Structures are given as structure tokens and as C-alpha cells.
Structure 1
Amino acid sequence: MTERFEFTSQEREDVLSLYNQIKQEIGSSLLEGDEEKMRQYLTGYIEQNHIHRDVFGLNPMLLSFQTAYLVVEEIGLKRDAVLAVLLHPCIEDDYLTIEVIRREFGESVARILHGLQRIQELYKKNPVIETENFRNLLLSFAEDMRVILIMIADRVNLMRQIRDVLLESGESNPEEQGKRREEREQYRKEVSEEAAYLYAPLAHKLGLYKLKSELEDLSLKYLEHDAYYHIKEKLSETKKSRDAYIQRFIQPIREHLEAAGLKFHIKGRTKSIHSIWQKMKKQKCDFEGVYDLFAIRVILDSPVEKEKMHCWQVYSIVTDMYQPNPKRLRDWLSVPKSNGYESLHITVLGPEKKWVEVQIRTERMDEIAERGVAAHWRYKGVKGESGLDEWLTNIRSMLETSDGLEAMDQFKMDLYEDEVFVFTPKGDLYKFPKGATVLDFAYHIHSKIGNTCTGARINNKVVPLRQVLQSGDQVEIMTSSTQKPRQEWLNIVKTSRAKSKVRLALKETQVKEALFAKETLERKFKNRKVEQEESTMQHLIKKLGFKETSDFYRQIADGTLDVNHVIDKYVELQQGEQPVTGNNIAQTAADFVLDNAQLSTLNAQLSDDVLVIDRNLKGIDYQLARCCQPIYGDKVFGFVTVSGGIKIHREDCPNAAELKKRFGYRVVKARWSGKGSSQYAITLRVIGNDDIGIVNNLTSIISKDEKLVLRSINIDSHDGLFSGNLVIMINDNTHLESLIKKLRTVRGVKQVSRL
């Protein structure tokens, strides 16, 4: 509920005072007639009874003037942004239209207001606001970056105006008073949560660190009232002694660093209330238990090539003076954070047995951290490591010199030009590369959805599956059980994930079609009482002009090639050639392999490394199956492939049972004979506790064995456990068994198995 109201005398004074201050700051940027037209529209808006107080009794017109002053004073925006802020309530209540604003005040003001309206549309979709994707969507969705800056300023202002003491509602009915009180409490909670989850991170990303800290502290004030005032009072009580202590701590460090000839300056700062509260929760302690209430920062003026050396030199000087806590050492010099943050953090025991955090970094590192690069994100389109810093610096400079449309074109978030953000009907938000289609979205949800996708409803409008996605789209996929993946889909999808899924689906379809075609062909052969021989069939396939066997069976499956015609040609070929004697399929396969030198082996064989196929046939080409990676000493068997070559599988291969059951006539015996010096690739799966040094212990065992070569290692950790695959070149299975036993003895290793 809202209440119709009249301006109080104090509110009139406040509005007039703010108006004069704003005009003094931006007067030079105002155009002729701006003031008269704005006064006319605002007066008309008020007189038509559009203005109502909000649930806290706040005057929305006064709020607009307060926000306008904030965007001028704290951020540096000028004419266009101020007019947009003051006229926005008129647009919200349909008193004015964007077209009128464009005609009266220009394109730039209209664009800002249009951006504010688009942002409000996003809220109606009810997404989860605390996600990084939603923050990124806001940045890409707002056509003008001033829209985001105004949103941040508006939320800071609103948080400042909300008071802890609920205003009397004027309701005489206790039940109505209770409802109003609940309504205000819920409103305060929602506003504060959005400040913490959405606006504070946005402010940090854009380099508005002062506003970011204020939003965090104010949200804590309203969400955790008792905690906020407890910490505030404690900080007030200890401020004088804390400042004196910082000086006592810094002075000897400064003297030693100067004596070492280093160029530097030192900062000492008390951490924010919000930061202290986070530490209290993380460390599960009270205020007195947080020993690093303030941080000392040593910032070195050092050339890039000497940065690390000088930082560690400072570390050595500080830890010689004060006892360090080794558990609190954070080395982001050797391995910077993924967001580019570089610094050396140590905690030392200072005078009076108090723990103090010391941060050591260079001017370059400090600038990167302070200018927003350490905000867990990266702008797309910014070139070079210092691109974001230059971009933010240009923003500051531009805001000081211009507020025009041309300048704001540079300010637009083209940094997100390579990404789009779209919603599911439930409000889930996903990120895709620019140019991604409905089909990409479908495969992102699930392979089955992608394989059966026929199109989509975007913003309730039916579109084809090749429709390109735009930021802010709400996408609902349409499917059909009769739909199947097609080859041309590879040209429709943009993401590598979707392409791989389409290829997999096409491959599975081809395999099914080939099996169906083979079964059809075999049944027709039996009906015509013609005995089918693999070697003759291969010769026929080549004679019919097929380079790939799969193409032959595909044409059988889709009816392009008549089965009876194939059988007739087969009989002609069989009658015109010398038949193969006996029923030794291995001999036939071997003859074929020997006639086709183009087949290559997966592992290069040496002359003294012999594999014997079936009846002591040696010297024929074969391939070691990728699915089970057999090595010398494994029990193996051969399998005659469709192309006539032989693949060697382990007896315990995951595919062995199915191959022998369905294609027993193509299985041949195989065994190792002799012993060469070849090495074979095997993969080991290792699972264990995610302890420091465990991976080094594993690789150390392998590196110490001269007969082993570690080809690759892929490790992933989750919930205190790590799992990984090690690809190793090894001589034989005896050596492999010995290696597995050694790896299992490593402390923390829970499982070692061969894949």
C-alpha cells in the first residue's frame, strides 16, 4: 500500500537545497529550456496525484533528487543522467513516454530511460539475482553503462534513507498496523539482500569501492542489526588505541626498509564492519577473537623484473622483526589468483602480542587489485593485461569532461559483445557465445532435448531451431519424438559442446543404421541360400565404388541401394573369382590385411616384438584397441573388423563379451610371442585424499623408474577428495602390476585401477 501525500515544509527545503547543489555542479552542461521543461513536467506529475509515499513513508520525489545528487557528487555524471533520474518516476507511472523525452530532451536522456525500463523487465522474469550470470546480464542488457551506475546510486540512496525505527502508519486498527509493519520488514529485507547480492558486486566491478563498502555495511545493518551495532560500538571504543598501535607497528618497519634502500609507501587501514562480521562467522569467534582487525600494506616502487625479489626481501625484513604465523602465509606471487591478483600476505605477532596482517605488493600489483581486476571476472574485448585499468581510467576522465551521446557510445558495454544471456521459462539464466542458436540452447539443457528439438518459443513467439539468441530472451524448447539429428545441424550450432553432441548423435544413428542394414543383408542372403563371405563382400563394396563401408550400409538402410541388386552382384563376383578354401576366417582376414598396406598400427612395433594371430600367423598388421589399451603380457584376442583389419583386445575388455556374443565368427586367437623393447600406453585411475604433496608423491614414484614415461596427468578435486587419470608408457603387464602396488602404498591413496 502507498499513501497520497503533500510535501512537508522540510521536504520542500531539502528538494530546493539539492536542486541548487545539483545545478551548481552541472549547470554548464544544461541546455537552454531544460529547467523550464523539467519543472513543467514534474509539477504536472505531482498535481495529477501520481505521487505516493512508499511503505516507509519516504517521498519518492525527494528520493529522486537525492539520487541525482549522488550520481553527480560520487560518480561524476552530468546533465543527461540527472534529467533521466528526475524524470524516471514520470515514465514509470505513464505520465510521460520515451518518445516525449526524446523529443524534449534528446536521444541520450531517452536512451538512459529506455535502459532503466529494460532492466525492470528483467526483474519481472524473477531470476536468481545473486548469480554472477545475472550481474553480467545486467551489464550487457543495459544499452548505456550510465543505467548501471544510476541503479547503484539509487540503491545506495534508498539504503541510506531506510531507518531502523518503523514509522507510525496512522492506522488505528492494531491488525492493520501489524500488516504494515510486516510489509515494511519484508521490503527492508528484499532491498538489503539485493544490495548485498547484486549492487555491491556491481559497484566493485566498476571500481566504485566506496559505494560498494557502504552497500555492504548498510545491508548488514538491516539484515544483522545486532551484529552491526555490536561491531560498530567495539570499533569506536578501540579507534584511538588502534590508530596509535598501527603507528607503533609501522615505524620500525619503515626504518628497516629505508635502510635497505627500498622505495615504498605504507598504508594502514581498519577493515569494514561487513568484513569483520564475515571473519567472525568464518572463524566462529566474537569480536575480540578477530585478531586482524586492520591490515598494513607495504607498496613497493619496483621494476617488473625485480618485483618478486623485492617483495620477498620485504617479507624477510618483516618476519625478522616480528614472528610470523606460517599457517597464515598466502603466496599469490608465485601463483597469482585466476583473476590476476598478485600479492604476498603474512600475519605476524606484533607488539603487545597482537596479530597483524601485512600485505606486500608492488605499485603495479596494487593498481590491478584496486582497479577491479580482482573482482572475479574479466571483461571480454579488453586487450592486454592493463586493458581494464585503462578502460576504467578512461571512464573517470570521460565523466569529468563530457556527458554527451558520443562519449557514452564509448562507455557502452561492448565488452560483452561476444556473450549473450538467456532465460529458461523457470527463470534459470544461461550464458552463450554470440551467434548461438536455439539448437545450442536445447543441447545445453540435455542431449535428448537437443536430438528431438524442432524449434522454440522465444518470448512466446514460435521460431525455428536455427534462430539466433539475443540477451534477455526467454526460451522454451519445442520437441518431437519423430525428430532426428541431421548432418546440417553441425552448421547451425555455435558451441563446441553442442557440436560434439550432434556428432555423437549422428554417429550413434549411423551405427544403428549400419547394424540394421547388415542384419537385413544377412537375412536376404539366407533367404536366397547364398553363403556370405567377408572377403568377397569387401571386394564387392569396393567394386561398387564405395570408399567407406559405412557409406555402403547407409545406402542399404535408407533404400538408395537395392539389396537384391547387391546379392546379384555378389553372386557374379563369387562365381568369377577363385573361392577361398576352408572356413578359416583368420586366414582370409590376414590375406586381406597383407594386400592393404595402408592400415597402420596404433603403437609402433619393433622387429623383435611379435604378436601371433591364430594359427601361428606372424608379421601381419594389427591395431591395439583404444577401448582397453592391451600391453605385452595381457591375455588378448583378435577381432576382424568390417574393413578386414584386425584389432587386438584384452580378454577382460569391457566390449569383449558383446563382441564374442554377437560376432563370434569374427573372433580369432592371439598371443604374445617373444619380448621386445616397445612401450605401450596405459591409463591408471587414482583416487585419494586431497592432501598437500600427494600428487608429487605419485609422480615421484613414476619419475624414479627409468623404464616408465609419464605422458599426461589430469587431476580434479572435490569435497576433500581428488581423482585423476595418469597416462603412462610401460613395457609389459608385469611392470604394470609392480607400479600399481607402489602407488597404492602412497599415504592418502584410496584406489588405483587400470582403465
Structure 2
Amino acid sequence: MPSIDAFADRISRYLDPDQVNLVRRAYYYAEQAHDGQRRRSGEPYVTHPLAVANILSEMHMDHQSLMAAMLHDVIEDTGIPKEALTAQFGETVAELVDGVSKLTQMDSQTKAEAQAENFQKMAMAMARDIRVILVKLADRLHNMRTLDAMPHDKRRRIARETLEIYAPIANRLGMHATFAEFEDLGFKAMHPMRSERIRRAVKMARGNRREIVGKIQESLSHCLSREGLPGEISGREKHLYSIYEKMRGKKRSFSEIMDVYAFRIVVDKVDTCYRVLGAVHSLYKPIPGRFKDYIAIPKANGYQSLHTTLFGMHGVPIEIQIRTREMEEMANHGIAAHWLYKSGEEDSPRGTHARARQWIKGVLELQQRAGNSLEFIENVKIDLFPDEVYIFTPKGRIMELPKGSTAVDFAYAVHTDVGNHCIACRINRRLAPLSQPLQSGQTVEIVTAPTARPNPSWLNFVVTGKARTTIRHALKQQRRSESVQLGERLLNKALADLDSHLEQISPAHLEQVLGEYQMPQLDDLLEEIGLGNRMAYVIARRLVNDGHDEDHPEQHGPLAISGTEGLVISYAKCCTPIPGDPIVGHLSAGRGMVIHLDTCRNIAELRDSPDKCIPLTWAKEVAGEFNVELRVELEHQRGLIALLAGAVSSADANIEKIGMDERDGRTSVVQLIVSVDDRVHLARVIRRLRTLSGVQRITRLRA
């Protein structure tokens, strides 16, 4: 670990003397603030901030970042307030230090919530000044390098957090060298024995491969010399964690992964990259489908390179990356490669800074829509997936999305309103399911409708954080709206039984009742009723006669259900009611109303309780499809399932699920879940099934 004098000498190569003196002053302030404090390893605590600043100096970071690195633990660990740092070193440095510092008030939080809250705070600080995340990454990198001094459980917790959050952030910002070191150090801490075994195996394999690597490198050099192309060729080593992940995720053996020989060719300019590509393709045959042009279409983190895989000598696969010197710097150091503060270009329209700011803007959008910090961090982790697909809009604009994204993810990436009103999609001009994973190079067109709303089932297949958060947010709003409407209907129904109506209640009395229930406005009370958290008849009695009459009100007819109520009305799976069946509604706290058959055994005890069950009827016109479970007993015969499916289809119904059980060698029992419109439609389906030869009995199953 260098001393402050050696460190000052190093940074004086690219910083002004005045700036070097400011960094020195920050070091001495931190040394005084941390006086008497020691690290777990026994070293004076100030060695840690000096080491963090040293990591940043390798990236040629500006003097304010280095000062913040020196002071990054002062607010958190010494009790010195932010105001004192502002007075000593200026507002910019104090803001950077505050952004890196953890939240201090976490008494009632779990560790997961504390981690999420910390990351939320850091995301907001990153939006103000992107250097916050670079100081934080350097801080975490030094902590990972010195993790051995920590107790075992704490070591694993810090390593897991690094692998889940900080390594993907480094990758997202294009800092590959930091990303690879995070992964290897995290792997060593999480799985020390596995890490050591792979390290030894790699060392042994490297010795065995030396001869063939030399031959390939020599043939590539001759090829470039022959074509008169300048370029530096080097072997490219996979880091330990990436080998482990490929072995585990792709179910490959160690030898299969090490059988691939990887090389990097660094050239002077972009034009030469493509000429070198042509030269190596003439030397060895390229493997079809394995060429990627990240120069024309850079990755989301700004990474640029040409990737190709070739059939080498004796059929050995050779992976080659071709890039310029600038791209090489970019690949290793990402956002820190061309530090804009050095040249004063605060807002370059292109490059990694613009991409990083765009990503951080997206992170803040997730934060605004997320229900809580845990939901936010879950979505950020999803959004940090390193692999992207590149999708074209109909007008030719390129959209970058995580691997596995669907048309719904694409719709929300285009615009929130496009996602919310999406009903269908065309992929390469053909209609396709919304849930179909997208492939790079496809053109996607979204079909929208003004009245369309997000579907809860979308949450089962979307992968981007923005789509997931926006859908949840829209569903909460939709659920509230529907709960308020249902609550109003239930309350007016209860008031009608008392010969009253909501409009007849005086505003003063309504305000008084809302105050008693601690509700700011009427919609909040109606939402509670619609969700089943409060009983309509109790509220109605309170509104009409102050709640003194304990007798149940006389019923004036059941409430009509149309089937289009949405999220706050559901149909019981135990008895599967359909239009035409006699029904009752069971008010379930938080779920709204669940519709049961009035003969359902599951609500037998609640049927006479007006605070739990209310009588219902079907409206004259009911929309939607309803599932019914049928049990069909018939003689076993060839093509049985096809016969049943044909009969159901001929009655204009759909089979949602089918299961079969052979009772003996001759008789089969088939369980069908059939989607129908109403009882009349069901009767038609049953009649069709009865016409099949060998059918002995058809029973509708219900609780």
C-alpha cells in the first residue's frame, strides 16, 4: 500500500499541483477523523480510504473524486456532519461523500430492506453526480480484496451482495476489469473450495495448451503481416467465475469450456477492424451464426468490438475479438475510460456517459413507481442482466432490451402509454403472441387500443424492471378504481335495503362518519368496502341511523353481477359458478368479492352471515368465459382424447385442461375443465359429449 507521498507523486502526473494539495488535505483530514480506529486486519483505518483513492487514480479520476474517496467513511463512521465537510472542502465533495455513505437510521429494518434503502439513496445521488457510483465501486473493490479478515458469515453476505448488485453495475457501466475482479473475489468468498479447484485446473490446462496457443497466435500474426494490417494479438483468458457459471448454467464440463481458444486483436482504427475480420475469415472458416458486430450496434454499456468464432486447426474452435485501442480501454474501464470532467465536456451526446445517465434515469423511473424499496431492488437486479437483444421499431430505431424480453417489454421500452394500451404485436410483420421472447434483429410493431389495460398475466413473462413496475403500478390503480366502483354498488345496495341512497346522506354526516373511520375521502371508504375489508351493511346502518339498530336490514333483492367487474370480483375454484347458477358473494378481506354457488359446502357456515355473504344474481347480459369441471366416465377406446376434444369444439367451447385415469382395462375416467358462456352453453356441450359412443356418465364437479 503506497504512502500519501507516493500517492501524491503518482497523481501529480495528471493533476495540477493545487489539485494534488487539495487531495493531500482531504487525506490528513480523514487521518485525523479516523484517529484510533483500526480495520479488522489491525491496520490503521485510514489505509482503506487511501487504497480506495489509489484504485480511482488508476482510472485517472479527477481530484474531487479522489477527495471524496479519502473522506467517504467520515460521515458514517466518525460522526462528523455533512455541513462540516461542505465548509472544509466545498459542496460538491460533501455531496459525493454523502451519496456514498449508508443510511444511519435502520432500527426497524431487515438486512434486505436496509440494503435496498441504501441502494435507493445511492441511485438518487448517482443521478445528481455519476462519480458517486465510481467511488462506491472502488470502496467495494478494496473491501473485497481485504475480505479475508472478516468473519465467515459476514464474508459470505458481503460477497453475495457484491455478486448480485455491484458486479452487474460495474458490467452495466462497461467496467469489465472491475466486473471480472468482483466476480472472482465474490466466488472465492462464497465457494472457496470450488474456486481453488477451478484455479488449479486452469493453471494445469494453461500449461498443456501453451503449444497450440503459440501455433494459432503465430498463424494469425503471419496472416496480418501478409495483408499488411497492423495489430497486437494476445490470448484472452476467461476469469474463474465465468468458467464456473458456464459449467453450472450450460451444463458443460471443464474440458469443453477450455477447448475453446480465445484471442483479442487490437488495431489502430475502425476501418482496420473490418479488414482484419476479412483476413481471419480467409485464414480459418467462420462458424455460421457466431458473428456479432458490436461496433455498428454497441452494447447498452457502450462496449464495442467485433466477435467471430472460427474452425481452427484440427477443428479447434477459436473465438476472436477485434477492436481499436480506444475500444479496448472502453471495454476494461467503461465509464471511467474517458473521464469527461478532465475535458469539461459535461454532457456529451454520445458515449458511455450518455448511456450511463440514460440507465440511471431508468433506475429513477423504477424507483418512482415501485411500491417499496424491496420491489425496487428486485426490479433493478432484473434490469442489470448483462446480455442484450437489439430490436428494431417499424421506423428503424434500435431498442436495447435484456435477453428473454417479450413484445410487452418492448412496448414499455417505447413508451409507458404504448405498454399500458398494448393488445397485440407483429414480429417481422406477422402476428405473434405477446409472450414470445424476442430475437436480435427482429422488427416489432405494437398494436394498441385506447380502452385496453395491462393484464395481470403479463407479470408471468415480462423481464424488464420498467415493464414489471409499470404493470404493477397500473394494476394497483385499476384495482383501486374497480374497488371503488364495487364498493359504491355494495354500499348503495345496503342503503337501498334501508330505504336510502348515498346521495341522500348529508355531507356533514358523511364527513363525520369518514372521520370516525379515519378515511380522508369517500373513495377510500368505498375502496375498503370493495376489497372486503369493511362491511357495506355496517357502514350503511351507521350512515342512516347511527348504528343503533342491530337488526339485520330487510333484503330488497340481490345485487346483479355482469362478469366485467375486473380484478375485485373472482370466481371460486371450488364450485366454479357460471351464469345461470344460483350464486352468493363471499366478501374476502383484501380480495374483494368471491362468487360461489349458493350450495357450495365451503361457505355453508357463512351463508346466513350478512357481514360475510350477500345474495347475488346474474345480470341479463353477462360477458366473459367461465370454467366448469366435468367428469366423463366412458369405455376405453383408441383416440379417446381426440374424440372428446372434437365434441367440445363442435359445441363452440374450449378445453382448458384435461386429465385421464384408467379405472380398469375397459373403463376410463376423464376430467375436463371446459370454458363456456353460461348454463345453456354447458348443456349444449354435455349433449354433444353424450352422443359419443361408450359414454356412461357425465357429472359436473362442484364443492
TM-score range, shorter-chain basis? 0.3 to 0.5
The TM-score, its normalising length taken from structure 1, stands at 0.44
From the CA coordinates, give the structure whose radius of gyration is larger.
1
